[in-house]
Structure 1
Amino acid sequence: MNDLPGRGGHIHLIAICGVGMASLAGLLHSHGYRVTGSDQNVYPPMSTFLERLGIPVLSGFREEHLKERPQLVVIGNAVSRNNPEVEAVLRVGIPYISFPQALGRFLIGSKRSIVIAGTHGKTTTTALMAWVLNQAGWEPSFFIGGMPVDFDSGFHRGGEEWVVLEGDEYDSAFFDKGPKFLHYKPEKVILTSLEFDHADIYRDLEHLKGAFQRLMEIIPPAGMLLACNEYGAAREVATFARCPVMFYGGGDPSGWEARNLRVQSGQSVFEPCFKGRSEGMVRTQLLGRHNVSNALAVYAMSRELGIEAEILKDSLATFLGVKRRQEVKGEVRGITVIDDFAHHPTAVRGTIEAVRAGYPGRRLWAIFEPRSNTSR
């Protein structure tokens, strides 16, 4: 569709309480649209986030929720074709789009996109990239698939030049089975990792690599790909990029690597090195080798963008992270409770190793809920 509702128009979101959809609702609200939504599972933190914005959320999916006909409906990717509201939209002829299409129309537009993709670390890396550009005075727009501690929300409409986006490989909607990141018009891409995931929609690793290959192919020749060298599948799909490619991580002396990694006073300390040359010590409050890799990716991309090393070091040192990523919920009787979103076996292992390193000498209990298809 080419005609979007004018400012003040009514937009309805089906499955509004997912992290991405709720943030999109907030973005549309900030644009001056009248936003409503519906969902089966309405609970904090997204329910309270939407309530704070004054966005009404209708419980369940019912045809009568569309009685006051909206001018546009955004359909979440978890919503099936036989959803009662979807059936009403199709029968009545209400215009509809997917979540990633909505981001393309209402946030990205003609901005230059930095897309963070990969199996692991997308949310943290996206939040850190947005924080660094913000601290450098670039006024980036951003959309993060989580709640960053350093910003009021996971979305922001900043200046007109740059937008930072978390590029999810999950499918877009029942009417668009392509991955979300294909809608994000990538100019610069960070590929953090690539392992088999999302077993509910991808048959195997080869099927998943095909999705990432398509992402590589749409980066323009004048763009850039920064890929983690520590994943064979990432190196393989990087060969399909038509733009300059640079690697980070171990094993590639021509790229970026983190040396002399250690934990000091509850912080990760390392030296970012390019082609073997150190740029001095960097500190971050993010724990774990996986988070050092995330920080190195942001450091490397930022240097390619022309941001000075000292600004980068200050930005990395002050970044507070993302909620539900090694988030300390509190301490009772000497027991520290930490909440983490890790669900893929590799991510779970990395989180446990990070917590052990950050809390030496402490007994560690890990309570795991195997919710995702990959973890089952």
Structure 2
Amino acid sequence: MAATAAALKDLGLQVTGSDQNAYPPMSTFLAARKIPVMSGYTEANLAHQPDLVVIGNAISRGNPEAEAVLERKMRYCSLPELLKEYFIRGKRSLVVTGTHGKTTTTALLTWVFEHNGLNPSYLIGGIPNNLGQGARFTDSPWFIIEGDEYDTAFFDKRSKFVHYLPELVIINNIEFDHADIFASLGEIQTAFKRLINLVPRNGLVLANGDDPNVAPLLPAAPCPVKRFGLGEDNAVRAFNLRLGPTASEFEIPSYKFHLNLVGEHNVRNALAVVAAAKHCGLSNKQIQAAFDTFKGIKRRMEVRGVAGGVTVLDDFAHHPTAIRETLRALRIKYPTERLWAIFEPRSNTTRRNVFQRELAESLAGADRIVVAQVARSEQIPPAERLDPVRLMQDLRAAGKQAEYLPDVDTIVDYVVREAEGGDVVCVFSNGGFGGIHARLLERLGQRRP
């Protein structure tokens, strides 16, 4: 929201905001742009009679400021609606969707356009290392946006991505997720059907042709559909994959691509980018030139540091499939090292027991596993809550060294005591996890040889 607020100010509008707690870097960014942020939510924040109130999807009924907006019948909208009307309408909107790989695919596609001088507007759910920020708004005809299937706001339960006026949609994959708002895989597929139905006749859906959960959505598409993947029936197919510890290679019938990312899942992400970029007029050579200089994304297999001979990584993965694929990629990158996985059940899905068995299967890709306590566990009924002790027991039954250690202090003490030089420790969490990365590095660096 901060980048959007700054972009609105650049349009000459007066912008203010409200937040319960504003922290750096966002608080300092907004202060530098002279955008006031009022602390807390209260009706008094509306005393200046704003023409439009943008209500984020973290706000629910009962919020005093939102209640005042409704009572006073003020004009309001969601952030996706604002993006549509102020920044996307009139542009060529490329929407990247899917349960997994959205951020990497969006960042890579954006970098392909940026590297080739197209200066796209973009909105990405992470920080690409090449770009330094997750959002930018330009006068380019191109807008590249990560399309989330999560709901828009308390007053609009449709998925966010239905607001983005798609000309081209990438569907990377579909799995069950967001257990707090979707009851089944079928409900998620329905959300994607609604998105496909918004693509104009002269648009395009690029769909993962290897995903059986995507296939049923495609026959009714009102626009052209092109499938990509590794299977022989795909219109855009990658073959001759070579997955190395620092890079990957793959071929399409007319070209061989080199990618500075590790793992088959990243080859699939890159293949979607190739298909989209070529559709938009870029050549294989132009795409490869951007691939050569792509530096990845923060919190995606990001090396936070090495201390005491132990490498500490940060990864945002919080779905069993994402964890499994990340650990597979780390096995390729670190083929002889002992691999640790430290997992915090923090997302709305992993705090629930819908993936109790699958999480054990995914985390078993590591040599040693530490499971933390379920974040905000009191919000989940006991019958629906993930059981971290059972998760540990299932991992042990599979022959893995696994521990359930509830808090960060205990985890740090354990890892510092047990980790050996050469070990690789990957922390899986979609939150800050109590600053565990910095604390591990500090303590590991203090160990005596």
Q: Which residue of 2 aligns with 1:60?
A: 40
- 1:298 partnered with 2:260: no
Work out the CA distance in 2 between the residues paired with 1:204 and 1:321: 32
- 1:323 partnered with 2:298: yes
**Cα distance change of structure 1 residues 234 and 279 upon mapping to structure 2, 3 Å threshold:** same
- Say which of 238, 246, 249 aligns to 2:226: 246
- Say which of 333, 342, 350 aligns to 1:375: 350
Q: Which residue of 1 aligns with 2:171?
A: 191
**Cα distance change of structure 1 residues 195 and 45 upon mapping to structure 2, 3 Å threshold:** farther
Secondary structure of the corresponding residue to residue 261 of structure 1: strand
- 1:352 partnered with 2:332: no
| Residue 59 of structure 1, CA deviation | 2.9
**Cα distance change of structure 1 residues 45 and 175 upon mapping to structure 2, 3 Å threshold:** same
- Say which of 114, 121, 124 aligns to 1:144: 124
| Residue 70 of structure 1, CA deviation | 2.1
| Residue 265 of structure 1, CA deviation | 5.8
What amino acid is the match of 1:221?
R
How does 1:211-360 map onto structure 2 within 5 Å?
Answer: 211-264=191-244, 266-271=246-251, 273=252, 277-280=253-256, 282-360=257-335
| Structure showing greater Rg | 2
Q: Which residue of 2 aligns with 1:77?
A: 57
Can you list the C-alpha shifts for 1:10-45, whole angstroms capped at 9, x where unaligned?
xxxxxxxxxxx2332233233333322222343344
TM-score by length of 2: 0.74
Contact 1:229 1:252 in 2 (8 A): no
- 1:134 partnered with 2:120: no
Work out the CA distance in 1 between the residues paired with 2:312 and 2:28: 22
Query: Which runs of 5 or more residues in structure 2 are unaligned?
Result: 352-449
| Residue 93 of structure 1, CA deviation | 3.0
**Cα distance change of structure 1 residues 264 and 290 upon mapping to structure 2, 3 Å threshold:** closer
Bigger Cα displacement from structure 2, 114-123 vs 28-37: 28-37
RMSD: 1.8
**Cα distance change of structure 1 residues 261 and 49 upon mapping to structure 2, 3 Å threshold:** farther
Contact 2:209 2:234 in 1 (8 A): no
Contact 2:130 2:294 in 1 (8 A): yes
Work out the CA distance in 2 between the residues paired with 1:357 and 1:48: 39
Q: Which residue of 2 aligns with 1:14?
A: none
**Cα distance change of structure 1 residues 355 and 22 upon mapping to structure 2, 3 Å threshold:** farther
Secondary structure of the corresponding residue to residue 298 of structure 2: coil
**Cα distance change of structure 1 residues 50 and 356 upon mapping to structure 2, 3 Å threshold:** farther
- 1:29 partnered with 2:29: no
- Say which of 83, 87, 96 aligns to 1:103: 83
Q: Which residue of 2 aligns with 1:10?
A: none
Query: Which runs of 5 or more residues in structure 1 are unaligned?
Result: 1-20
Can you list the C-alpha shifts for 1:137-190, whole angstroms capped at 9, x where unaligned?
222211112222111322222234211111111111111111111111111111
Work out the CA distance in 1 between the residues paired with 2:53 and 2:217: 35
Secondary structure of the corresponding residue to residue 93 of structure 1: coil
